[in-house]
Amino acid sequence: MTTTVHGIAHRLRPFGESVFAVISRLAAEHGAVNLGQGFPDFDGPPEVREAGKRAIDAGFGQYGRSIGLPELNRAVAARWNALGKFEVDPDAEVTVTHGCTEAIAATMIGLVDPGDEVVLVEPFYDSYPACVAMAGGTVRTVRLRAPDFAFPLEDLARAVGPRTKAIVVNSPHNPTGRVLTPAELEGVARIARAAGCMVVSDEVYDEIWFGERPRSIATLPGMRERTITLSSLGKTFSLTGWKVGWSIAPPALTAGIRAAHQFLTFCGATPLQRAAADALSAPASYHESLRAEYRERRRHMLEVLRAAGLSPYEPEGSYFALAPHAPFGHTDDVAFARHLVSKVGVAAIPCSAFYAPGADGTRDAESHALVRFAFCKRHETIAAAGERLRALTPSAHPPQP
């Protein structure tokens, strides 16, 4: 009998290798200051790390409950309630996953059928379309546009139709740093209610904001029953490698998420879930000082980018700053990012990976206009990037359109 080795499945071929893996590898190869992949270059709070070590020695070494360690489900629900959202049943409505990325996958695979459409907002976190593809669904897109990245409600109303299963929103937004206004969230909610579709709300940056506290769309009238809210420990506690995430959704939608989650990972890492349960009861002062530190890092990052001749957009939340690369004479964002990492010694993310290609597999010029700098970094890292960015010189000959 012969077998044929086909390689990558057709539905995943368009996605290639994740831009984060590519840029992290180039950063290491060139010894670049890494402002690419969004992970802090400092460690999480010592008391949370100690709790993790204690849990490893205290008999948390085996699989836990598939839906999450009971104390973590309770802590997620308690934090949600403490923020004045609504009462959540920890066992019926909270599911703990292996980071928010698994929660996104479980949501799509568990709730989207072939033929269903999912509306994404460009620029988007790159795992959204890949997970829709794994579920066999079809992506439709609307776009946030520079300079204000306002939510395109009219485009959304046009993109939503009888096959729409879900609209994915993310606020604070990776990569633009937008925090959706109450009016924008109400607009999305109105469209979702009228279409009878779900909303998937990725809120992993919910504690990193610089103006108004972001709202959860699930708290708007008629939205609780149709919203899946996703979040995680990683950004709030600077422990992205712990991969502790969760979903909050009404029981009927939770059933779909769990149907997939049990076969994806079965459960997250047990001792880290135990420690995460303690971390989530951190006092408000922890979150306030996190924000104060991020406010300073944002100020520093913007200063360094401006000194280099870039014109960054000011993020309202998240730990990313976007800037157009147009003044520097490169053909597109990928060429600019390659120049930056190999010649200047600073790694940043070319944002074209956050836009859907057209039918011919290529992306339009607007999709290639931006690069993303992560400022979840020590001040000395941001300063070192600043030193290197001095080598960046605006081109006397910008490319012709």
List of residues contacting ligand GLN (CB under 6 A): 20, 37-38, 101, 125, 174
What burial letters (b/e) apply to 18-36, b meaning 16+ CB within 10 Å?
ebbebbbebbeebebbbbb
- Give residue 111's identity as a one-letter amino acid code: L
Spatial contact of 207 and 287, defined as CB atoms under 8 Å apart: yes
Spatial contact of 168 and 196, defined as CB atoms under 8 Å apart: no
Query: From the CB of 212, what's the least distance to ligand GLN, in Å?
Result: 23
Nearer to ligand GLN, 178 or 226 (CB): 178
Nearer to ligand GLN, 67 or 340 (CB): 340
Nearer to ligand GLN, 101 or 270 (CB): 101
Query: From the CB of 376, what's the least distance to ligand GLN, in Å?
Result: 9
Nearer to ligand GLN, 153 or 334 (CB): 334
Residue nearest to ligand GLN (CB): 38
Query: From the CB of 20, what's the least distance to ligand GLN, in Å?
Result: 3
Spatial contact of 201 and 230, defined as CB atoms under 8 Å apart: yes
Spatial contact of 17 and 330, defined as CB atoms under 8 Å apart: no
Query: From the CB of 202, what's the least distance to ligand GLN, in Å?
Result: 10
Question: For 156-162, which contacts have Cβ atoms below 8 Å and span 24 or more sequence positions?
Answer: 156/119, 156/187, 156/188, 156/191, 157/191, 159/119, 160/119, 160/191, 160/192, 160/195, 160/197, 161/117, 161/195
Tell me how far apart the alpha carbons of residues 154 and 275 are, in angstroms, rounded to a whole number. 44
Nearer to ligand GLN, 37 or 229 (CB): 37
Nearer to ligand GLN, 40 or 68 (CB): 40
Query: From the CB of 144, what's the least distance to ligand GLN, in Å?
Result: 16
Q: Is 363 left (phi over 0), alpha (psi -120 to 50) or beta?
A: beta
Tokens of 29: 């190869």
Nearer to ligand GLN, 202 or 278 (CB): 202
SS3 state at 257 = helix
Tokens of 363: 């992306």
Query: From the CB of 227, what's the least distance to ligand GLN, in Å?
Result: 21
Query: From the CB of 180, what's the least distance to ligand GLN, in Å?
Result: 18
- Give residue 67's identity as a one-letter amino acid code: I
